[in-house]
């Protein structure tokens, strides 16, 4: 099913919404303190109450986590960070060229179409308080490019509404005439941002922008922006143009859904998350699982993401890549983009 672009409806509810969120944050903190530990158990197919409690747990642990050896490791701002800045102006139009800006943010040139994924350029990700500051995890290393250094973007992708993938302060700083494709029931968070063309996709729905076909494919995650929020869409996104293909995985745990949906497709490169699995393995693939997904999809290359940029869980910042490299073993040449700021071009 092909979905058409819609004009976002303006709203004057911003102040009321902010007040409501602040009250709910306080209520959520009180709820976390009173819920017994047994509720936190991770299960594969839990109900809405358990998912809400798990979301509250993530928030609480990120705010109260004690320092550990991973914090010391994160102070190394040079390891897995490229010493050369990307130069998009020098990229060739033909083929596929990609640079990893950080976390789930990639700049992609796909057969002459420039695509930006899940843009997060701020110093922190999390809850924005009255437009003044953001409360949440701090960035370990700066983005490989600033917003001012970006080339003209033809397409903006937002995989789901979690704060580390759907960063409203960043969206406010981007040009508003860029078409935006996002997940089902997630437009409302950018109603006051001002984008002229937005389009929601649910699984198996498609859109087309500048010759790129975008198909929403099923992944295993969840879509609430806030712990008390309703369930919303969350997508992997398959991009195809001129016989080339890129899978942007967004966030996903290990699942049969994704390989099944892509059976018989040709995937040149899969951009898949490899971090935030400890203890959130039900919602985030670990490195070995990401490698397995790439192989089952028949992807020629894997670009790992969702690691190194923020500490969102308990594993050390560098552990995900170390485990991925070990899992790849004799096929490490299939791992693309080992460093933030590195640029990779699909071999002929």
**What b/e sequence results for 226-261 when a residue is b if at least 16 CB atoms lie within 10 Å of its CB, and e otherwise?**
bbbeeebbbbbbbbbbeebbbbbbbbbbbbeebbeb
What is the distance, to the nearest Å, from the Cα of residue 218 to the centroid of all Cα atoms in its chain? 15
Residue 4 lies in a domain: no
**Whether 104 and 125 share a structural domain:** yes
What pLDDT is recorded for position 157? 99
Residue 70 lies in a domain: no
pLDDT tens column, 223-236: 999 888 999 999 99
**Whether 124 and 140 share a structural domain:** yes
Residue 307 lies in a domain: yes
* Domain CATH number, residue 219: 3.60.15.10
Residue-number span of the structural domain to which 30 is assigned:
23-64
**Whether 234 and 87 share a structural domain:** yes
- Show the tokens assigned to 204: 């198996």
What pLDDT is recorded for position 38? 45
- Show the tokens assigned to 1: 């099913």
**Whether 135 and 46 share a structural domain:** no
Across residues 76-82, what is the average pLDDT? 97
pLDDT of 11 higher than 70: no
What pLDDT is recorded for position 68? 83
pLDDT of 330 higher than 60: yes
How many separate domains does the chain show? 2
**Whether 152 and 36 share a structural domain:** no
- Cα dihedral sign, 108-113-118-119: positive
**Whether 49 and 59 share a structural domain:** yes
Give backbone dihedrals phi and psi of 156, rounded to 5 degrees, phi first: -115, 130
Q: Distances in Å between the alpha carbon of 196 and those of 171, 182, 192?
A: 13, 14, 11
What pLDDT is recorded for position 131? 62
Residue 212 lies in a domain: yes
The mean predicted confidence, pLDDT, of the chain is 89
Distance (Å, whole) CA 202 – CA 272: 19
pLDDT of 3 higher than 80: no
| Owner of token pair 């789930």 | 104
pLDDT tens column, 238-267: 999 999 999 999 999 999 999 999 999 999
**Whether 215 and 314 share a structural domain:** yes
Residue 158 lies in a domain: yes
pLDDT tens column, 19-74: 555 555 555 555 544 444 444 444 445 566 676 676 667 667 666 777 788 889 99
**Whether 57 and 120 share a structural domain:** no
**Whether 202 and 57 share a structural domain:** no
What pLDDT is recorded for position 234? 98
**Whether 55 and 112 share a structural domain:** no
pLDDT tens column, 260-318: 999 999 999 999 999 999 999 999 999 999 999 999 999 999 999 999 999 999 999 99
**Whether 29 and 18 share a structural domain:** no
Residue 282 lies in a domain: yes
What pLDDT is recorded for position 29? 54
- Show the tokens assigned to 69: 């050896």
Residue 194 lies in a domain: yes
Residue 6 lies in a domain: no
**Whether 53 and 147 share a structural domain:** no
pLDDT tens column, 179-213: 999 999 999 999 999 999 999 999 999 999 999 99
């Amino acid at each position: 099913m092909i979905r058409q672009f819609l004009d976002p409806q303006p709203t004057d509810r911003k102040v009321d919404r902010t007040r409501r969120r602040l009250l709910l944050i306080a209520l959520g903190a009180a709820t976390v303190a009173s819920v017994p530990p047994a509720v936190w158990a991770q299960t594969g197919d839990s109900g809405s109450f358990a998912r809400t409690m798990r979301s509250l747990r993530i928030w609480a642990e990120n705010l109260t986590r004690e320092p550990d050896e991973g914090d010391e490791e994160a102070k190394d701002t040079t390891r897995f960070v490229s010493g050369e800045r990307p130069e998009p102006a020098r990229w060739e139009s033909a083929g596929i060229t990609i640079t990893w800006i950080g976390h789930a943010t990639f700049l992609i040139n796909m057969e002459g179409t420039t695509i930006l994924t899940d843009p997060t350029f701020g110093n922190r990700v999390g809850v924005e308080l009255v437009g003044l500051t953001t409360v949440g995890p701090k960035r370990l290393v700066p983005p490989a490019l600033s917003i001012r250094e970006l080339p003209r973007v033809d397409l903006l992708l937002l995989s789901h509404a979690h704060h580390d993938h759907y960063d409203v302060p960043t969206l406010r700083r981007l040009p508003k005439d860029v078409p935006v494709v996002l997940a089902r029931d997630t437009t409302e968070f950018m109603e006051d941002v001002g984008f002229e063309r937005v389009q929601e996709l649910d699984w198996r729905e498609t859109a087309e922008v500048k010759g790129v076909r975008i198909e929403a494919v099923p992944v295993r995650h969840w879509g609430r922006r806030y712990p008390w929020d309703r369930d919303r869409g969350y997508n992997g996104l398959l991009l195809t143009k001129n016989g080339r293909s890129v899978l942007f995985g967004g966030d996903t745990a290990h699942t049969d859904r994704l390989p099944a949906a892509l059976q018989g497709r040709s995937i040149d490169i899969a951009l898949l998350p490899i971090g935030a699995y400890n203890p959130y393995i039900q919602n985030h693939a670990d490195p070995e699982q990401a490698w397995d997904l790439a192989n089952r999809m028949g992807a020629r290359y894997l670009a790992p993401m969702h690691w190194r940029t923020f500490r969102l869980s308990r594993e050390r910042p560098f552990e995900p890549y170390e485990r991925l490299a070990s899992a790849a073993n004799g096929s490490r040449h299939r791992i693309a983009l080992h460093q933030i700021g590195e640029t990779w071009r699909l071999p002929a």
